[in-house]
Amino acid sequence: MYANIIHNVTKCINLTNDEKQVFTNLLKVKTVPAKTKLLEEGEICQFEGYVQKGCIRIYYVNENGLEVTVSFAVEDWWVSDIASFHEQKPSRLYIETLEDTELYVLTPTTKEKLLQQIPKFERVFRILIQRNLTALQNRLINTISQKAPERYLEFIQLYPSIPQRVAQYYIASYLGVSPEFVSTIRKRLAGK
Amino acid sequence: MYANIIHNVTKCINLTNDEKQVFTNLLKVKTVPAKTKLLEEGEICQFEGYVQKGCIRIYYVNENGLEVTVSFAVEDWWVSDIASFHEQKPSRLYIETLEDTELYVLTPTTKEKLLQQIPKFERVFRILIQRNLTALQNRLINTISQKAPERYLEFIQLYPSIPQRVAQYYIASYLGVSPEFVSTIRKRLAGK
DNA sequence: TTCCTTTCTTAAACTAGTTCAATGAACGGG
DNA sequence: CCCGTTCATTGAACTAGTTTAAGAAAGGAA
C-alpha cells in the first residue's frame, strides 16, 4: 500500500523497517472525489500531501478573475502551499482535484512528530522545497524566453499524462495563452 | 559595520551578543568591482552573500543566447544559487555585479559551522528559501497574467531604486520584453 | 572640451497571440 | 435515445509586443 511513497522518500534518505513503520503510521489516507477544493485563497494550508492516485491542480486567481495554473500534481508528486503551511499564514492559492484522488497527508502536527522521531526527514523536505524552487525558476525562465509552441512542447515533456487527462483550458492557463491558441498550436504541431 | 546584517537576521531570530559575535566572525567581507561575475553557468555556487552595498543581477542565458534576468539584489538582499549551493551541483545561472559591491559571504564550510554553533540559524535560512519561493511564484503569476505595463509598475514597486541605477535593457530582460518596448511603456506612463 | 562608445528613443512594418462569434464534437442525465 | 451542457475548433478582426534601422542623449577617457 505504501510502496510508492516509501520508494519516493528512500530516493533521498535510507530508512530502516522500523522507521518506515513510524513514517507510514503518521500518514493519513485521504480519498477525495474529483472537482474538490483542498485549499482556497485566504485559508491556511494544513497539509503536505503525496499523490498516490489522481490528479490535482494548483492555481491562482488574479484581480481580473483570470486563473493561472501554477502546477499540476499527478501520481508520485507532493502537493502543498509550502509557504502557507510552514508559516501558518493565509494562502493566495487554490488547490483542487481534477480526478478522484487518493492522498497520503501530513499535517503540521504529524510532520513535527515525524521530524522529532526521524530527524533525517529534514533532508527530504529540504530537497522537496529546493526542487520546487528550481522547477519554478525554470518555468519562469521558459515563460519569459520562449514562445508558446516551445512552452507547449516542454509542458508535455514534464507532464506527459496531463493532456489526456484534463481539459485543454487548464493547459492554456498553465501556458499563459488562450484556450483557442492551444488549439492552434496543436494543429500546427500535428501538421509536421 | 555589521549593523545591517544583524538587523536583517534578528528580524527572524533573537541573538545574544555572543552569538552575534560568532556569526559575524564567520562572515567573510568581499569587495567586488562592477561588472564582475560571481558565478557562471556550469560552476558550483560556493557562497551565500548578503549585499551590504551595491547592486547585483542574477540571470540565465537560454539556448538562443537570450538573457533572462531572474532577479536583482541590492542593499539588504541575500544572493546565491540556493539549489547549486546546497546540492553542490553545477548552476544554470550567472551572477554578476552591476555596481561596485560589498558583500558578506558564507561558504559551505562557514555556513555549516554557523549551523552547528547556533542551530536556530536553520530558521533564518528556511525563511530565506521560502521567501525566495513565494517571490518566484508571485513573479511567475504576474508574468503570465499581466501585460507588460502592469508588470513594469510592479517592478518599480519591488525595486524602487533599480531604474535609476541600471541600464534599461536589464529591466527589459527582467520583464520579458524588448528594450524598445520599455521605452514605449515609460512614455505612455509619463503621458498620464 | 572633443571624440567615441554605449544607451535610449522613435517610427514603420511585421508577428504572435487575443477576442469574439459561430459551429462542431463529446458526454452524462433523464 | 434525445437533449442540454460543456469543451474544442475555426476564422476574422483586432491588440500587444518585436524587429529593424536611424537619430538623439548621455557618459567616460584623453
- Average of per-residue pLDDT across A93-110: 96
A127, A145, A163: which is the final residue of a domain?
A145
For residue A192, pLDDT over 60 is answered with no
How many residues would you count in chain B? 192
Whether the CB of A148 is less than 7 Å away from nucleic strand C comes out as yes
Same domain, A79 and A99: yes
Same domain, A190 and A137: no
Same domain, A98 and A178: no
Same domain, A134 and A152: no
Q: What angle do CA B183, B187, B192 make, to 5 degrees?
A: 150
Q: What is the mean pLDDT of chain A?
A: 95
- Tell me, yes or no, whether B16 lies in a domain: yes
CA distance B113 to chain A (A): 18
Same domain, A67 and A90: yes
Q: Which amino acid, B3?
A: A
- Tell me, yes or no, whether B125 lies in a domain: no
For residue A65, pLDDT over 60 is answered with yes
Same domain, A90 and A156: no
Same domain, A152 and A140: no
Tell me the residue range of the domain where B80 lies: 3-117
Same domain, A25 and A117: yes
- Tell me, yes or no, whether B81 lies in a domain: yes
Determine contact: B126 vs chain A, CB below 8 A: yes
Output the nine-digit C-alpha cell for B38. 560571481
Domain count, chain A: 2
Q: What is the CATH number of the domain that holds B9?
A: 2.60.120.10
Same domain, A96 and A178: no
Residue with cell 499564514: A89
Same domain, A11 and A82: yes
User: What is the reported pLDDT for A60?
Assistant: 95
Residues 77-106 of B with CB under 8 A from A: 82-83, 86-87, 92
Question: What positions of strand D are covered by protein, i.e. any atom < 7 Å from a CB?
Answer: 7-12, 16-21
Determine contact: B141 vs chain A, CB below 8 A: yes
CA distances, A38 to each of A65, A94, A95, A103, B22 (Å): 20, 8, 5, 11, 44
Q: Residue A35: how many CB atoms within 10 A of its CB?
A: 10
Give, as one character, the DSSP assignment of residue A115. H
Inter-chain touch B136–A140, beta carbons under 8 Å: yes
User: What is the reported pLDDT for B192?
Assistant: 58
Q: pLDDT digit string (tens) for A126-162? A: 899 989 999 999 999 999 999 999 999 999 999 999 9
Same domain, A133 and A90: yes
What is the arrangement of strands in the sheet containing A55-61, beginning at the earlier edge strand? A37-39, A94-97, A55-61, A67-74
- Tell me, yes or no, whether B39 lies in a domain: yes
Which pLDDT tens digits describe chain B residue by residue (192 residues)?
Answer: 999 999 999 999 999 999 999 999 999 999 999 999 999 999 999 999 999 999 999 999 988 889 999 999 999 999 999 989 998 999 999 999 999 999 999 999 999 999 999 999 988 998 999 899 999 999 999 999 999 999 999 999 999 999 999 999 999 999 999 999 999 999 998 875
Same domain, A37 and A58: yes
Query: Highest mean pLDDT: which of A43-47, A135-139, A186-190, B135-139?
Result: A43-47
Which of A59, A69, A70, A137 should we substitute to test contact with B (largest number of B Cβ atoms within 10 Å)? A137
- Tell me, yes or no, whether B27 lies in a domain: yes
Residue with cell 484534463: A166
Give, as one character, the DSSP assignment of residue A44. P
- Tell me, yes or no, whether B151 lies in a domain: no
